[in-house]
A and B are shown apart, each in its own frame.
Chain A
């Protein structure tokens, strides 16, 4: 087990190095010269040269890369060309809302995916209809779900709000930045309920696609496991179908569903960017959407790095969880 964890962490570091190198190279490739953009169109050549020198842009590429990695490790992601603040400062302000939405979405995706998988693997009449539901879910772009969700739950039924993460101007901003936690810490019950109301619709939109993928994989793997001899034994002992499914089959089928969850996190991050745009959710997705028209690559690179780290960490966790679910894996 420890050996597996060490191995995974080592490969995680390698992947993160390549990721940072990729973002660094993209920054070099991007057609906006950050110094020029930062100093403005009227900056003199001398001023640009001086600033470039201060920022180290006249040094060899490898040097610059190490400088960049050092900056990243000490929390310096460069300056946003649009907001004129440090990208790290900006991300600090926008990230908590995204963490809130992503964690809730991931939770929903796992729960819904598990239910879909179990329901469609079971032996009951409605199971066939699930194929259609799943294919539909896998084909719906997140923004369509958001549009229809807003039309139905906000515009028609007036059940849920459609923009931002709170209706209050004086909502607490600390200590975590995650609203459903902060409002509770400050004892603001009305604000807490309001925060959940704002979270439901975007959370569902983000979760549905991944939930379907998780459900599909779980179903396939459940169906395969159900064919094994030990399941036949369990049935022949006279166990109910429910007990066979939940107590005997599920754990052995979790493996591929878990790795699908990890893979789907990547897709979900892209979904989060889109959904935050639609719902004006004050997270890094909205920040990205505002940075794209401004060609603010330092900001986009910073977001990519943060999401990339999140993705790699989640997948490392998934690898370890798989070994917990199936101890044979840690022997390999």
Chain B
């Protein structure tokens, strides 16, 4: 997108010339801009911080360590302290960690379940494809986030149940994408050649079709991280995540809501962290898409 845009809306002559140039650039893939690289780098730093959180967090996330309701920067609390005197910085760091882990887990399960269904459908074709995709479409046609709320509510609020609930509504996207890639690949000559060479259907799907679907899945997954962080935080906000005093960003914001007008930092800090992480994840997702080429 970034490369093609300069041409849009330009006068006719220059437009045509640019279009030719665009085609040439496209052949070798799209340029990655500095912004893309910076975004991917920044998100990598966030992931690194999440990994080393237990070592770098100044305090325990669940033990009160000071005076309640200290404003950010006061009493040794960089982001302030909450209603029982816990360090908000330590809590959001641990919250960030569980948020990223949760997003990763949902994406992984989405890729595995959706990928398997999509691969089977795309590689097999015929009635198997029809049946599996009808099934997928029905799931796609239901309101995912709302259904996730119902699943978690039925199983009982907990971190793992949230992962299950969101995973159940998240895989259809991946099934669609993998199926589309697999379908396109299945009709290509190298698959035909593999079949004639006596390669069985399982090996064909695994060794010859699946690798071709990896880039598209990677791009989708990287664009998904930001979405998932926001969705998971919303479920946690509704009280569907781990019970108190677990440091979850959404739940922290929800429990801090009553202090909003006097001690604004208690609910706002965790909400801001959700935004920042999702923002970086989205920028990095765009970056990955640009780095991988137009998909």
In the assembled complex, A332 has its CB within 8 A of some CB on chain B: no
Partner of B234, one of A148, A270, A291, A308: A270
Q: Mark A259-297, 1 if CB is under 8 A from B, else 0.
A: 000000111011101100110000000001101110101
Indicate if the CB atoms of A26 and B238 lie closer than 8 Å.
no
Most buried by B among A11, A143, A265, A288: A143
Question: 10 smallest A-B Cβ distances: which pairs?
Answer: A270-B145, A266-B143, A123-B9, A139-B278, A144-B271, A139-B279, A311-B143, A30-B154, A26-B154, A304-B150
B233 at the interface (CB under 8 A from A): yes
CB closest residue in chain A, given B139: A18
B264 within 8 A of A: yes
Cα-based distance from A136 to B278 in the complex (angstroms): 9
Give the residues in chain B near A265, CB-CB below 8 Å.
143
Please determine whether B237 and A19 come into contact, CB atoms closer than 8 angstroms: no
Number of interface residues of B (CB under 8 A): 55
Residues of A within 8 A of B230 (CB): 139-141
Whether B154 pairs with A147 at a CB distance below 8 angstroms is: no
| Binary per-residue interface labels of chain B (2-27) against chain A in the complex, 1 for a CB within 8 Å, 0 otherwise | 00110111101001000100000000
Tell me the smallest distance from the CB of A136 to a CB of chain B, in Å. Answer: 6
Q: In the complex, what residues of B have CB within 8 A of residue A142's CB?
A: 234
Task: Tell whether A227 is near chain B: CB-to-CB under 8 Å.
Answer: yes
A293 to B152, CA, bound (A): 12
Interface contact B155-A29, CB-CB below 8 Å: yes
Does chain A have a CB within 8 A of B78?
no
- Contact between A223 and B5, CB atoms less than 8 A apart: yes
Size range of the interface on A? Answer: 35 or more
Q: Does B67 contact A (CB under 8 A)?
A: no
Q: How far is the CA of A30 from the CA of B237 in the complex (A)?
A: 21
The A contact surface, by secondary structure, is: helix
A322 adjacent to chain B (CB < 8 Å): no
Q: A141-B233, A147-B268 in contact; A269/B155 too (CB < 8 A)?
A: no
Closest to A314 in B: B143
Smallest beta-carbon distance A249→chain B, Å? 10
- In-complex Cβ contact of B143 among A138, A227, A308 (8 A): A308
A18, B138: Cβ atoms closer than 8 Å: yes
* Chain B residues, CB < 8 A from A148: 268
A169 within 8 A of B: no
Given contacts A26-B154, A220-B1, A308-B142, contact A143 B234 (CB under 8 A): yes
B147 interface hit (Cβ, 8 Å):
yes
Contacts A141-B271, A142-B234 given: A22-B240 contact, CB under 8 Å? Answer: no
**Looking at the complex, which one of A26, A150, A226, A227 makes contact with B260 (CB distance below 8 Å)?**
A150
